[in-house]
Structure 1
Amino acid sequence: MLTTAPPTTSAVAPTAPRVVVVDDTPDLRNLLRLMLLRGGLDVVGEAADGRAGIEVVRRERPDIVLLDIAMPVMDGLEALPTLRRVVPQAKIIAMSAFGATQMAARAVAAGADGYVQKGTSLHAILAYVAELSGVEQRPARPVAVTRTHEGGRSRPVNAAPAPIDRRSSGSRDESSTLAVAHAPYGVLEVSDEPSPRVRSTNPVARRLLGGSPAVGALLSLSAPGLAHHVATHRHEADAVFDALLDAGSVRATLRRAGGSLFVYLDSTTEDVGLLRRAIATASHDLRGPIAVIDGVVEALAWGETPVPGAERDRLLQAVGRQVAELDRVTADLFTSTQVHRGTLHVDLHTFRAGALLVDLLGDHDDITVDVREDPPVVADPLRLEQMIGNLLNNARRYGAAPYAVVVRPGTGGRTVRIEVADRGPGVPVDFEPQLFREFTRAQGTVATGTGLGLYVVRTLAEAQGGTASYRRHPEGGAVFTLQLPAAP
């Protein structure tokens, strides 16, 4: 999705630096646009994924690009080399929901001029953009608010983030090394050559490799099978393959960054590693909405000029959407906990699912609700909302519009059949057996998620005497089907 920036009441100078914002969260794009315009910059375009961002940047030729790292279709790391070629003189600033991760160094190595953490105050982001791009910032009077960030440290809202300069930072800078050391998966850096040599490993990678290979040593000496795969796939943009190490089978993802190859190793058998990754992704899903809500609070209180009424209404609507997203994530986490404790409860009622879903989804322009017949169903209406919400969220993350919800009688009239369909790429065939398992996500995907959504859907369906299943759409895409008991 690509757009030209919407009109605004804020005036910008004719010579103001031109900015393109690329982020998959519309509410965050709106906040960044508001912040940049109030700081005297000209937002000339927006996009929701890396591929669309390249098109907007190619068309607008901006001076500054704010680029999210984790996006569907094409992520920021994949888009960076092309953006660098299209606008070699522009300042490209990468963004992520986490500040202390290897993503910062990877983005800088791939061509970004700097990096900011989502959740940093809007005023601090603006100050950083101005500093990095040489823009004289408009005077502003942010309110004196103190927030607590990582590690319990507090800092004022006008404390700018420390810049990362791509000319002096590499893939092994101090902050990224600390983050890689605590990553819940193996990170192995090797040289980009036919016989790769080890450059760095984190603790998880060393354990999976069965030891600590010496820096500079041939990878084939400690992991010949993995070394063969790396050499075979090293020219591919983003290869994913299975390898056998001393600790067992792993799924490896290979990505290029600067003059190195990074190999990300996920154990396919380690439950603790699975749980740690689930915690990391759940934290990401929670932090995104919190960053938007935090930004809205600051935007409403920032400066002496009040936010215009229409803009204030949009900001408050954004808060409502992000609160709903927080509610969805925490509901899934709580449901999973109830399942494990044996305390999951469903409150069965007889009602018409089609009428409920029309009322629930009728104002969503991108969703078609098709109620062919609407026989009464015996189910928990709140749990049905949770299941449909998860399926639509899954479709938006991994699929593509148009989205359709279809309600009709099941075979023999004994069930009510509810389908949620999209026209995306569908589920990878080799991942289909794991689709409804807890804490699982398809390898190689750039979309984030806890890996709980479909597990919760299946568990809730079975708790109500029904089933959940998946099939490929005959015209391309995914179809998820709920079958719930029909009223006698």
Structure 2
Amino acid sequence: MSAEPEPKPLRVVIVDDTADLRELLRLALVRGGMRVVGEAGDGRAGIEAVRIGRPDVILLDLSMPVMDGLEALPHIRALAPHARIIVLSGFGATQMAERALEVGADGYLQKGASLGRILDHIRDIVEGRSINPAPRTGNRPEGWDEQQHGFGAVNHVPGQRDPMPEEPARWDALALAPFGIIEVSAERPYRIVRLNPAAQKLVEVHPLYPGTPLQDVAPELATTIAENRLRGDIEFEATSGAEPVQVTLRHSGSSLVIYLRAITDEVGKLRSAIATTAHEIRGPVAVLCAVAETLTDAEEGDLDAAQQARLMSSVARQSRMLDSITADLLTAAQIQRGTLRVEPHNLDPVALMETLVQDRYPGSVTVDVADSRQVIADPLRLEQMIGNLLSNAHKYGRPPIVLRTRPCDSHPEQLCIDVEDDGVGVPEQFRAQLFREFSRASGTVAAGTGLGLHVVRTLAEAQGGSVSYADAPGGGSVFTLTLPAVTRS
């Protein structure tokens, strides 16, 4: 009898914007007997990698630049209808992962899971032994009517304003909530199903009736929800009535529930900053844990010298990212207390820039030197400022990214350092708030601590310089840092 043929190894494509994490996943997959046939750092490139690689399994990050995982997922499913798609969700993004299940994913894993667990999960999904639970719809209270999208039926005739129906007892508790709650239909024009008094006060339109399109009473809020509703449960800032509000959008069956909280108070801003900072820290920590696991589990000969060197480079990069986050938090605290100190002296900015790019962004940032003068600056603070601007370009812009020194046209005694990207630029209505503490543009998914640009502005001014924003000539953003230059003798 002939021996049974060896089963072919699973073919895997990895789509994640963190190169260090892709490296660790690749090592773990190969060690687990699988074959990595493609990698990509954004959804659009991921679609192409799937088209070329024809994989059995796709590991798909959800939060990526250019095109995120949710947007790319239907295209990937069409290209690989029989492949297993497992999404990788960030810290606290379970609801977003569940949204991915609804639109075609086969399972999900939260980033930070052990590499061994990831391998086991892939095998379970492929062999049909285990899948993630179906998207949760929550425990529906008595009287919930899915077809009517919420608590009780709201039969609205277009053009007719119906009186607010009698409030069911289960809504009474929500009526007392100190934050606003609006339930709307899940599709445009997002007709109001019901809302509590706090929401009525924040929207500042009286009276409100069931069936009213949200666009009629809170147009900015409705537009922002339309832009983000497919991203799962998210938080963002918007204007409702006369004041800014923190908005949390949650999917509930066939409706959307909007939570509104005024953010004029500093405590509210602090809470938001803590939440987003925790999310930022989670990514580097996940990579560091995976490196430790890889090195601990590796047997002699598993890793060659080049692989070990790359792992150590990953540790260094992710540690610097954590250091950058904590540096911004510390600097913000020093600014608040009035204890910020800088120690400027003559230094070569080009050497600092080249080292910074090589350490953190090798191959993804071009250094262009049009002015080689020294500047008068604190070297640690200059590294922090340029690092924040480059981080901002990577999060919100698109390549190519250029870091440039040039003479300042209107101030020859200063040197300008530009960070230019090819993204969509900063919305006109947000530019006045761009460098404020904890500011984020309305309609964007929260990312970062909200401190980076504020820290850049404060540090620049403390050293006799400034920072500004302009549209790039061909589209995109240009952030310009100006500093006193050393006069050539």
Establish whether TM, by shorter chain, passes 0.5: yes
In structure 1, distance between residues paired with 2:180 and 2:13: 34
Q: Shift of residue 229 of structure 1? A: 6.9
- 1:387 maps to 2:411: no
Q: Shift of residue 163 of structure 1? A: 5.2
In structure 1, distance between residues paired with 2:461 and 2:184: 46
Q: How many residues align?
A: 431
> Are 2:220 and 2:240, in contact at CA under 8 Å, matched by a contact in 1?
no
Q: How does 1:340-419 map to 2 (within 5 A)?
A: 340-361=336-357, 364-410=362-408, 411-419=410-418
Q: List per-residue Cα deviations over 1:274-327 (Å, max 9, x = no partner).
A: 322221111111110110010011011125454322222211111111111111
Structure 1 residues 253 and 55 mapped into 2: Cα distance closer, same or farther (>3 Å)?
A: farther
Q: How does 1:67-216 map to 2 (within 5 A)?
A: 67-99=60-92, 101-134=94-127, 164-166=132-134, 169-172=135-138, 190-193=184-187, 196=190, 207-208=198-199
> Are 2:224 and 2:442, in contact at CA under 8 Å, matched by a contact in 1?
no
Give the match for residue 316 of structure 1: 312
Give the match for residue 32 of structure 1: 25
Q: Shift of residue 119 of structure 1? A: 0.9
Superposition TM-score, scaled by structure 1 size: 0.77
Q: What SS is found at the alignment partner of 1:112? A: coil
* Segment of structure 1 superposing worse, 247-256 or 15-24: 247-256
Q: What SS is found at the alignment partner of 2:302? A: coil
Q: Which amino acid aligns with 2:376?
A: V
> Are 1:106 and 1:171, in contact at CA under 8 Å, matched by a contact in 2?
no
Q: Unaligned 5+ residue runs, structure 1?
A: 1-12, 137-161, 175-180, 212-216
Question: Sequence identity, in percent?
Answer: 49
Structure 1 residues 226 and 163 mapped into 2: Cα distance closer, same or farther (>3 Å)?
A: farther
Selected match of 1:334 from 330, 334, 340: 330
Give the match for residue 158 of structure 1: none
Superposition TM-score, scaled by structure 2 size: 0.77
> Are 2:185 and 2:192, in contact at CA under 8 Å, matched by a contact in 1?
yes
> Are 1:220 and 1:228, in contact at CA under 8 Å, matched by a contact in 2?
no
Structure 1 residues 220 and 252 mapped into 2: Cα distance closer, same or farther (>3 Å)?
A: farther
In structure 1, distance between residues paired with 2:65 and 2:477: 16
Q: What SS is found at the alignment partner of 2:98? A: helix
Structure 1 residues 398 and 206 mapped into 2: Cα distance closer, same or farther (>3 Å)?
A: farther
> Are 2:189 and 2:215, in contact at CA under 8 Å, matched by a contact in 1?
no
Structure 1 residues 446 and 33 mapped into 2: Cα distance closer, same or farther (>3 Å)?
A: farther
In structure 2, distance between residues paired with 1:195 and 1:399: 31
Q: List per-residue Cα deviations over 1:68-109 (Å, max 9, x = no partner).
A: 121111212222233333333322222122156422332223
Structure 1 residues 440 and 485 mapped into 2: Cα distance closer, same or farther (>3 Å)?
A: same
Structure 1 residues 293 and 236 mapped into 2: Cα distance closer, same or farther (>3 Å)?
A: closer
In structure 1, distance between residues paired with 2:65 and 2:212: 34
Q: Which amino acid aligns with 1:84?
A: R
Q: Shift of residue 437 of structure 1? A: 1.0
* Segment of structure 1 superposing worse, 348-357 or 186-195: 186-195
Q: Which amino acid aligns with 1:92?
A: I
In structure 2, distance between residues paired with 1:399 and 1:273: 28
Q: Unaligned 5+ residue runs, structure 2?
A: 1-5, 141-173, 203-208
In structure 2, distance between residues paired with 1:231 and 1:371: 42
Structure 1 residues 469 and 218 mapped into 2: Cα distance closer, same or farther (>3 Å)?
A: same
Q: Which amino acid aligns with 2:347?
A: F
> Are 1:44 and 1:60, in contact at CA under 8 Å, matched by a contact in 2?
yes
Larger Rg: 2
Q: Which amino acid aligns with 1:191?
A: S
In structure 2, distance between residues paired with 1:62 and 1:238: 26
Give the match for residue 42 of structure 1: 35
Q: Which amino acid aligns with 1:319?
A: V
Q: List per-residue Cα deviations over 1:175-194 (Å, max 9, x = no partner).
A: xxxxxx9xxx9886643356
- 1:23 maps to 2:21: no
Q: List per-residue Cα deviations over 1:335-392 (Å, max 9, x = no partner).
A: 1111111111101112232343345446733333233333332211111111111111
Q: Shift of residue 467 of structure 1? A: 0.8
In structure 2, distance between residues paired with 1:419 and 1:232: 31
